[in-house]
Homo-oligomer: A and B are copies of this chain.
Amino acid sequence: MTEIAISDAEWQVINVIWDGQPMTSQEIVAELSATTNWAPATVKTMLHRLTKKEVLTFDQQGNRYVYRARVRRSDCVRRECRSFVRKVFSGETSSLLAHFLKSSKLTAEEIQDLRNILDEQEAQS
């Protein structure tokens, strides 16, 4: 079953990796410096832990590592969503949807896109 637990800070790291892999650690550090105040050593720790958790892997080139994800973003997103809806909305996805639909200001275009998804969903049932 291998429960992979990715912490909040680790999510920030692996998000940039999913967006730009393969990446060296200094590229990752550089990217994260835009959104955090983490010391480089902090990022290194995170990379180390994520590697240990088998979320990341790397190819060694000289004395530096080139990281990439070992797990699919979509799988992690799905898992995280599932536990979130369970925790906050008692597992009721429709409540969650209602909440986010109400609380967010969407553009006309986004609204249309969502309508289209609803149409598809309806067609499939």
A residues sitting closer than 8 Å to B (CB atoms) are 8, 11-12, 15, 77-78, 80-81, 83-85, 87-90, 93-94, 96-108, 110-111, 113-115, 117-118, 121-122, 125
Contacts and interface: CB of A to CB of B under 8 A. Distances in A.
A11 B69 CA distance: 31
Contacts of A96: 100
A122 B100 CA distance: 14
B97 A101 contact: yes
A20 to B, nearest CB: 13
Contacts of A15: 90
Nearest to A7: B87
Contacts of A105: 121, 125
Given A90-B15, A93-B104, A121-B106, A98 B81 contact: no
A103 to B, nearest CB: 7
Given A103-B78, A105-B125, A125-B108, A114 B94 contact: yes
A4 to B, nearest CB: 14
A125 to B, nearest CB: 7
